[in-house]
Amino acid sequence: MSTNIWVWLAALLSLAIFSYLYKENPVFRFAEHLFTGLSVGYYIVLYYNNYAIPYIVIPLSEHRWITLIPMALGMMYLFRFIPKLNYLILIPIAISLGFGSGMSIPLTIEADVLKQVQGTMIDTSMMKNIWDPQNGLIAGILILVGVVSSISYFYFSREHKGALKVSANLGIWFVMIGFGATFGYTVMARVSLLIARMQFLFTDWIHLIK
Amino acid sequence: MMKYLAKLGKLDRRIIFLLLLVVILIPLLFSIKSRFYVDSATRGLYDYIDHIEPNGRPLVLSFDYDPQVAAELDPMARAVLRHCFARGVRVIGMSLQPQGDAIGEAIITQTALEFKRQKGKDYCYFGFRPAGTIVMLQMGVNVKRALPIDYYQVSFDSLPMMHNIHNYYDMAMVLSLAGSNWPYFWIVYAETKFKVRVGAGQTAVMAPDNYPFLQTGQLVGQLGGMKGAAEYEQLIVDAGYYHKGDMASKAMNAISFSHLLIITLILLGNIGYFVTQHLGKKK
């Protein structure tokens, strides 16, 4: 068994959380509240050290007065608590929205739409290795058919009849296979978390696994 | 017989938890080992890092995750760092997630110690940087302004490794380890705008979201969940960069066993459902 008090603390808190699997109980509640409180305290200290110090305290101590402008804009959010002046928070919100949209829209269109459309195209380089799971011809055809049929399923301006019905039904199959793959990955993720906790309890705490 | 089969659909969830615990513990306790195939996404990331010039442009490793998902991402971080430090590839560590701050520091320090790498010379750690997307954009213009002081409150100019690092053009790649969609933001704001190569290490829940970006080459590679970590561990062991597999490799058999159990339970649950329906119709 471990002689490290922190390992014991972590192990006992892990068991407290696991006790919920049997049923809701005060030990689980205690661990849950402890975690919430610790997280809040941690965030406050972290934000002060990593936000306030490098971006406010240091620049102001070096007489970089331009820092006062974003600082004042940030503090305008506090007008939320003064009913007569709370319309002033629209200023920082408008600046954030304008900057955020201008920054993200062109880049998102390029990364998410143009490059992805380009990725569905079949070209002669795919003939080199027909069976390659990423860049082969078969994969290319599957991606093209999958994208077109899935999009046709989400086309609601016409009733799904005739060719559109065939394509939309095929699209459902592609979407379902996608959901299945995602669910499989999710199962692996949850099981992985449990395994890691077991490794900690049986390796670091009670030294049963070497 | 039909009655027993019908009961399968109403199995107490605590029995399922107990069964899961048993199938996980057996391979862990008896150290059952097996080999597994390496995914092309993992291979892509490994090959890219394997071609980074030693003591050349550094790799940026961003610990964009919280302790909740550390089980999957810690082994990835260790395996990638071992690969880098064994080859003499310099590393810039940082985090865009508040709780990734301490996780990254612990892992990078421990791994550097294993390979006797020096802080400030072979690696730097800048800790948590708030406002992630702004940091990504600023790093493309002026790294010093994005990362003014490191985790230990040492200024950028006092770090020898950072002397010739101005923006992404001086970096080999960015690898984001995340339990949320940080790699996507790195693709949009760093890869698309500044053309820096981006890789991802994702929890298994998030990994499928990135396959479109792997197919288009916007990601050089990806480690998906515990299996991705185990694959990377196997690759660095096979190449002689490290002597043994770590936590992820040890967990792989437990994962396989638990998946078999879950598949069996899904099948039995479905049988129970259909039998219940069949009995209901008879009545």
Residue appearing with tokens 């390029």: A110
Give the one of A54, A108, A195 whose C-beta lies nearest to B148's C-beta: A54
Please judge whether B148 and A181 are an interchain contact, meaning their C-beta atoms are less than 8 angstroms apart: no
Please check whether residue B97 is in contact with residue B250, taking contact to mean a CB–CB distance below 8 angstroms: no
CA distance A37 to B2: 51
Residue B283: its pLDDT value, please? Answer: 67
Q: Determine how many CB atoms are found less than 10 A away from the CB of residue B6.
A: 19
Q: Name the nearest CA neighbour of A55 among B61, B64, B134, B157.
A: B134
Residue A2: its pLDDT value, please? Answer: 86
CA distance A184 to B221: 20
Please judge whether A189 and B205 are an interchain contact, meaning their C-beta atoms are less than 8 angstroms apart: yes
Q: Does the beta carbon of A118 lie under 8 angstroms from any beta carbon of chain B?
A: yes
Please judge whether B40 and A134 are an interchain contact, meaning their C-beta atoms are less than 8 angstroms apart: yes
Q: Which range (A51-60, A172-181, B256-265) has the least confidence?
A: A51-60
| Chain B residues within 8 A of A21 when measuring between CB atoms | 14, 17
| Chain A residues within 8 A of B187 when measuring between CB atoms | 111
Please check whether residue A165 is in contact with residue A171, taking contact to mean a CB–CB distance below 8 angstroms: no
| Chain B residues within 8 A of A198 when measuring between CB atoms | 21, 24-25, 28, 254
Tokens of B91: 């590393």
Task: Tell whether the model's pLDDT for residue A8 goes beyond 90.
Answer: yes
Q: Which residue of B has its CA nearest to A19?
A: B14
**Closest CA of chain B from A91, distance in Å:** 19
Kindly give the pairing relationship between strand B173-178 and strand B59-64. Answer: parallel
Q: Residue B174 region, left (φ>0) first, then alpha (ψ -120 to 50), else beta?
A: beta
Q: What is the ipTM of this complex?
A: 0.84
Kindly provide the residue ranges of all beta strands, DSSP E only, lying in B203-275, ordered along the sequence. Answer: 222-224
CA distance A115 to A106: 12
| Chain A residues within 8 A of B28 when measuring between CB atoms | 195, 198-199, 202, 209
Tokens of A174: 């592609």
Task: Tell whether the model's pLDDT for residue A66 goes beyond 90.
Answer: yes
Please judge whether B71 and A210 are an interchain contact, meaning their C-beta atoms are less than 8 angstroms apart: no
Domain residue ranges of chain A, discontinuous segments joined by +: 120-210
Overall average pLDDT of the A117-127 stretch: 82
Give the SS3 label for residue B174: strand
Tokens of B5: 């089969």
Q: What are phi and psi of B275, to 5 degrees?
A: -65, -40
Average pLDDT of chain A is 90
3-state secondary structure chain A: CCCCHHHHHHHHHHHHHHHHHCCCCHHHHHHHHHHHHHHHHHHHHHHHHHHHHHHHHHHHHCCCHHHHHHHHHHHHHHHHHCHHHHHHHHHHHHHHHHHHHHHHHHHHHHHHHHHHHHHCCCCHHHHCCCCCCCCCHHHHHHHHHHHHHHHHHCCCCCCCCHHHHHHHHHHHHHHHHHHHHHHHHHHHHHHHHHHHHHHHHHHHHCCCCC
Residue B253: its pLDDT value, please? Answer: 85
The whole-number mean pLDDT for each consecutive block of 10 residues of chain B, a chain of 283 residues, reads 73 87 88 79 95 94 93 94 96 93 94 94 92 92 91 92 93 95 95 95 92 91 93 93 83 89 90 84 71
Residue A153: its pLDDT value, please? Answer: 92
Please judge whether A195 and B127 are an interchain contact, meaning their C-beta atoms are less than 8 angstroms apart: no
CATH classification code of B40-245: 3.40.50
The pTM assigned to this predicted structure is 0.88
Kindly state the helix (H) or strand (E) to which residue B67 belongs, with its residue range: none
CA distance A10 to B267: 36
Q: Which range (A8-22, A123-137, B89-103) has the least confidence?
A: A123-137
Overall average pLDDT of the A122-145 stretch: 83
